[in-house]
Chains A and B, each alone.
Chain A
């Protein structure tokens, strides 16, 4: 994490383009004194190692600085947009797992059947499909042509949702606002599917191949020989071991999911962390970009740790 912070910090300082010029450019006539004052305010007049030291010192106290553009603390902006991104990511992972695991298992059990070939063909298509294009395609079909899902935003107007946690689904449930629940779910579905599609495709393929391997194992043959029902053999004996590679892949795909957030949130106008990051990049908002990238790296590292812990639950033979 330390390396990540230093790398991001140094990168941002050594790239062309001055954030103060960018800010002042919009203001029109400004004096050198005003420019210098702004530089001093954001600590940009200090040598880079002093800037880095100050930044690290504040960061360990949970202070990531103030956004140049918004003039608000970076942590506040991250906290404000994080629920939207988490909601979207959870939806994407849920969609991926709910679709991919049954398809992968069924394809392995009914190997070389029409459904197997079809689902593997579709999943191959999913792996090769750029998320931003899929998003536009879904908007075209479900919003423009069929009119059954909203193309942009997180919730419709006039639902009167009271914000409690920042997670709209949760807030709707807590406050019993069913109109808001319906609206936020309908807004979530297209971006969630778009973000989760690639993961679903990859997990389905991995699930199929791992189940094919597991189904040939002696203990599965034994379970069958004992006369257990096929469903029990698959669901209770084979699935647990077959899930291990799928969990690995989900962990590996978390990085792609975080990157995908930026794209999908841009396509669907989703007010989350990804869009915040993209806007910060275009505005050369150093503290905000640093904060968001560090946060992404932190989530990425934590997600991999959680996946490692999950292994022990799925397979008790593995210890951390």
Chain B
């Protein structure tokens, strides 16, 4: 010990601090998921979400038909429990004879991928900008905050519709349209949280130890605000999925024949009189997914902030 100079001692202390932070973080995560057991609605939401993710991943194995193969001999078939339905097309077929069950199963892929990507990129952009703006403040904070205010003057859907109209339909454009404004909420959340965390003793201690600013932000502050980001991210996931479906419904998102629930609901609109299942069934799939995500998200919020627990 006496051979070490004071800076080495500080460095070792810094490394130990990182290890402790990591351990604490992992322990918190494990405790967090075990707490989920005590929150039945959140647990149900979580399980349904996992089932949807599995359905999306295993779509090629579990879908009985190709989602884009047309079969004009079997067009507008009702679900199997109705008169005229066939057991080979369990949930019926659409106007081009495409199997509705297969399209619903594959549709989960689009909804989940778009939802997770839109939220993930929003978190990455908004979180990074919020972290820098909240920590350094100054002119950077001023510029980004004003830009965020400007974007907030547009209702989300109108903004997304406008962007999709300008850029044209397509998967990448859809992600871009959803994230272009989606990052703002994460920016505001992270900025606020960082500004509050920055004044706490553990950050001052890390500063005194000479740990780099980047390391303080990522290793010290981030684990303390990750729960808030997760909660907002989960709640925004359901919203993004509805946004994707809304844009596809308007013909601005994913284009047919690619199976997306929003465009499937739109396809069935003209046939609602005699083939209600084309619009209704993809809508139920969408509703259950968003419902489960919201249940999970609200549960997470209750668990992370006991003050918000429903009395």
Contact = CB atoms under 8 A, between A and B. Distances in A.
Interface residues of A, number: 48
B153 A263 contact: no
Contacts of A260: 157
A52 interface: no
B253 interface: no
Nearest to A144: B273
Contacts, number: 122
Interface in A102-155: 111, 124-125, 127-133, 136-137, 139-140, 144
Given A136-B269, A212-B311, A289-B162, A259 B156 contact: yes
Nearest to B246: A263
A299 B273 CA distance: 37
- The contact size tier of chain B is 35 or more
Nearest to A259: B157
Contacts of B265: 132-133, 136
A17 interface: yes
Contacts of B286: 130, 133
Interface string B236-270: 00100010011001111000000000100110110
A248 interface: no
A256 B157 contact: yes
Contact of A297 (B154, B163, B279, B310): B154
Contacts of A132: 245-246, 249, 262, 265-266
Chain B interface, DSSP helix/strand/loop, else mixed: helix
A206 B206 CA distance: 40
Contacts of A129: 287, 290
Interface string A191-211: 000000000000000000100
A3 B252 CA distance: 25
Contacts of B251: 282
Nearest to B289: A128
A37 interface: no
8 nearest CB pairs, A to B:
A259-B157, A15-B166, A255-B155, A281-B165, A133-B283, A128-B291, A128-B290, A259-B155
Given A258-B158, A262-B157, A300-B155, 8 more contacts: A16-B167, A125-B291, A130-B249, A130-B283, A132-B246, A140-B279, A260-B157, A262-B161
Interface of A: 1, 3-4, 7-8, 11-12, 15-17, 111, 124-125, 127-133, 136-137, 139-140, 144, 209, 212, 254-256, 258-260, 262-263, 266-267, 277-278, 281-282, 284, 289, 293, 296-297, 300-301
